[in-house]
Structure formats: C-alpha cells, structure tokens
Chain A
Amino acid sequence: MASLKELKGRINSVKSTQKITKAKQMVAAAKLRKAQAAAEAARPYGERLAAVMASLAAKVAGQDNAPKLLRGSGAAQRHLLVVANSDKGLAGAFNSNIVRAALAKAAELKADGKDVEFYLIGRKGRAPIRRAYPDNVGRMFDTTEVREPGYAEAEAIAAELVEMYEAGKFDVAHLFFSRFKSALTQEPTRLQIIPVPTPETAEASDAAVEYEPDEEEILAELLPRYLKTQLFGALLENQASEQGASMTAMDNATRNAGELINKLTIQYNRSRQAAITTELIEIIAGAEAL
C-alpha cells in the first residue's frame, strides 16, 4: 500500500495533467472553429474552379494535344504518395490513421509490382513511414516554420510536384489527408491528384463560349491552379480534422484524469482513516494496559 505522502503526490500530478489536457481541449475547440471558417471561406473558389475545369476538360479530353497533367504520362509504373500530416501530436489517432491509409496503399501498389515513393508534408508522418519504407521516402515538405499551412504552402507544394512530374520522376500521384466530417469523426482519404481526374460535369452548358486565348492554353494554365486548390483544400481539411481529433482526444483524457483523481482520492481517504484507526487502537490498548 502506497504511503499517504505518495498518494498525495500522485493526486497532485494527475491534477496538473488534467489542467493541461483541459487547456489543450479548449485551445483545440477555438482553433477548430477558426479552421472550419477557413475551410468554409475557401469553398466558393474551389467550386467555381472545378466547374470551369469540368467544362473545359470535357472539351479537350481525349485529344492528343491535351496537357500532360490531364492526359497522364502514358504509364502507371511509378507512384508518388503525398502524405499530409500535422506537426504536432496530442490529436489521438489523427496522424496514425492517415499514415495507415498511406501504408496500406503502398503495400497494395508494391504487391502489383509498382514503384512507390513518398512525399511527406508535416513532421508527424516521417518516423512511421521511414520505419516501414526506409528507402522510399523522397522529399519532405517542412511546415514547422508556419503556424497554419495556407495557400502559400499549397502553392509551393504544387510547384514542386509539377516540377517533379515534368521531370518524369513519377507517373501518378495520390494525396492522403483526413477529411473533416465532424469533431468526432475524421476520415482518412485518398485522392488522385496527378494526372488530374476530370471533374464530373454538373451542367453541360452548350452555350457557345468564346475563349481567349484558346481552350488548350487556358487549360494548361488552369491545371496547376486546380492542383494548388486541391492541395489547399486538403491542408484546410487536415487542419480542421486535426483540431477536431485533438479536441476529442483531450476531452477523453480530461475525463480519464477526473476518474483517476476520484479513485486516488478515495484510496487516500481510506488509508488516512486506517492510519487514524490504528493510532487510536494503539492508544486505547496502551491506556488499558496501565
């Protein structure tokens, strides 16, 4: 049985842990609201761009002179897995879920005899992926310098990916991130980003649209921008997911700490009572002996 002093020490240490988890939970809740607002604000742009892309791509698709980003490189041998993680932990299974989805895909591709390479965004995915595939980790994009990855980061990542693609370093790129469903559920998602999948046409407009310059040139300029937007969207979703997961995890941790404190307090009180009883018995026994 632990001594009274030890028990008291443990209770105090659990209490301060609870304070930390509670603070982190509240911070996550505030950040989640911000991240959701940011994701909301980014939606109109993404939707409009997707609509324009769809109508253009439908016209150009299937032609030989379609841009390489849309048409693909004609092979599907080398796959690049772009894995977006966060830089910080304390978010439950958020990072490991994304990593697991990426590793599962990698194993599947390997089984099909394809080459796999990783491109890692964020710090938390590095260790587990390096452990599983020490020789396949290519470039890593560092986001530790910025507080919240935003459009500038998406731009830099897209530029690097397009450059690698143009240089023929890979044939297909998949993006792994966590889609935000609610504060309780986040879904690890895979998205093919290169070659750009043709967005589904919502409305087939048959109005004669004039293009300036021509369709191909507009499309060639629009494709990298579409890629950026998708990366940006993924980064935002990831942020919202991270905060949601963090909030849930910290809520659980706070509750567990509370339970532990209760249990320890009961144990502490019992031992104290036992000590007092023993002392009393000793005194009474001593008095009777006289």
Chain B
Amino acid sequence: MALHFELVTPARLVRSEDVHMVVVPGAEGEFGVLEGHAPFMSTIRDGAVKIYRTAGSEFESIDVRGGFAEVSASGLTVLAEHVEG
C-alpha cells in the first residue's frame, strides 16, 4: 500500500519516493491523496505539501510556490516552480 509521490521543480527532481499519503494544498481546498486515487488534476496555491510516510506517522511538510498537481495511475506528481526547505 504505497503511493508513488514525485515533487519536481525546474531545477531538479526534489522527491521521488513511495509514501503512505500526501496532503496537497489545492486551489479549491486541501486534498489528501492515497494509493489508488482517481485521476485528478488541480492547480495548487502556495503552501505546504504534507507527506505522511506511513499511516499515523508524523508528517513532513515542504513549502511550495506556483504549483500544479496531477494524480494518475502511476501516482502523484507535484510540479512546483519553487520549493523551500
């Protein structure tokens, strides 16, 4: 039960790993993505992407600016212009 998560900026591939859940600050509200999520596309507002490595663990947050998220069969891809931290 793992979701493949990728965080990409123009400068580099920041993350590419299997995680439990990611909460993304979508333009119309936060949404969590688990494995097997339906195909989905959303712009995201500036804010923190929260990554839960395993169920019930503490989340790790990464601040992104100017982003866009895509969920497909292969997992979640967040394209961000800037990443802090």
Asked if A41 meets B13 with Cβ closer than 8 Å, knowing A212-B26, A212-B28, A213-B27, the reply is yes
Stretch at the interface among A43-51, A109-117, A166-174: A43-51
Chain B's closest residue to A233 (CB) is: B10
Count residues of B near A (Cβ-Cβ below 8 Å).
24
Does A20 interact with chain B (Cβ within 8 Å)? Answer: no
Contact (Cβ within 8 A) B43 A221: yes
Contact (Cβ within 8 A) B66 A225: yes
Enumerate 16 A-B pairs (CB-CB under 8 Å) in ascending A order.
Answer: A38-B11, A45-B9, A45-B79, A48-B8, A48-B70, A151-B81, A209-B40, A210-B38, A210-B40, A213-B28, A213-B43, A221-B43, A222-B43, A225-B66, A225-B68, A229-B10
Inter-chain CA distance A212–B28, complex, in Å, is 7
Contact (Cβ within 8 A) B40 A48: no
Measured between beta carbons, the chain B residues less than 8 angstroms from A76 are none
Asked if A42 meets B27 with Cβ closer than 8 Å, knowing A217-B43, A225-B66, the reply is no
Contact (Cβ within 8 A) A44 B8: yes
Binding site for B on A (CB under 8 A): 38, 41-42, 44-46, 48-49, 52, 56, 150-151, 154-155, 205, 207-213, 217-218, 221-222, 225, 228-229, 232
Binding site for A on B (CB under 8 A): 6, 8-13, 26-28, 38-43, 66, 68, 70, 72-73, 77, 79, 81
Contact (Cβ within 8 A) A41 B12: yes
Chain A's closest residue to B70 (CB) is: A52
Measured between beta carbons, the chain A residues less than 8 angstroms from B66 are 225
A252 nearest CB across to chain B (Å): 33
Contact (Cβ within 8 A) B43 A52: no
B39 touches which one: A46, A150, A210 (CB < 8 A)? Answer: A210
Measured between beta carbons, the chain B residues less than 8 angstroms from A218 are 41-43, 68
Contact (Cβ within 8 A) A44 B41: no
Contact (Cβ within 8 A) A42 B11: yes
B28 nearest CB across to chain A (Å): 5
Measured between beta carbons, the chain B residues less than 8 angstroms from A49 are 79
Chain A's closest residue to B73 (CB) is: A207
Q: A42-B11, A154-B10, A212-B42 are in contact. List 11 more A-B contacts (CB 8 A).
A: A41-B12, A44-B13, A45-B10, A48-B8, A52-B79, A56-B41, A207-B72, A208-B38, A209-B72, A211-B40, A228-B81
Inter-chain CA distance A46–B12, complex, in Å, is 10
Inter-chain CA distance A38–B10, complex, in Å, is 10
Chain A's closest residue to B40 (CB) is: A210
Contact (Cβ within 8 A) A222 B68: yes
Inter-chain CA distance A146–B84, complex, in Å, is 22
Inter-chain CA distance A244–B79, complex, in Å, is 30
Inter-chain CA distance A186–B60, complex, in Å, is 43
Asked if A151 meets B28 with Cβ closer than 8 Å, knowing A207-B73, A210-B41, A217-B43, the reply is no
B10 touches which one: A42, A56, A222 (CB < 8 A)? Answer: A42
Measured between beta carbons, the chain B residues less than 8 angstroms from A150 are 11
Inter-chain CA distance A209–B37, complex, in Å, is 11
Inter-chain CA distance A42–B12, complex, in Å, is 6
Chain B's closest residue to A150 (CB) is: B11
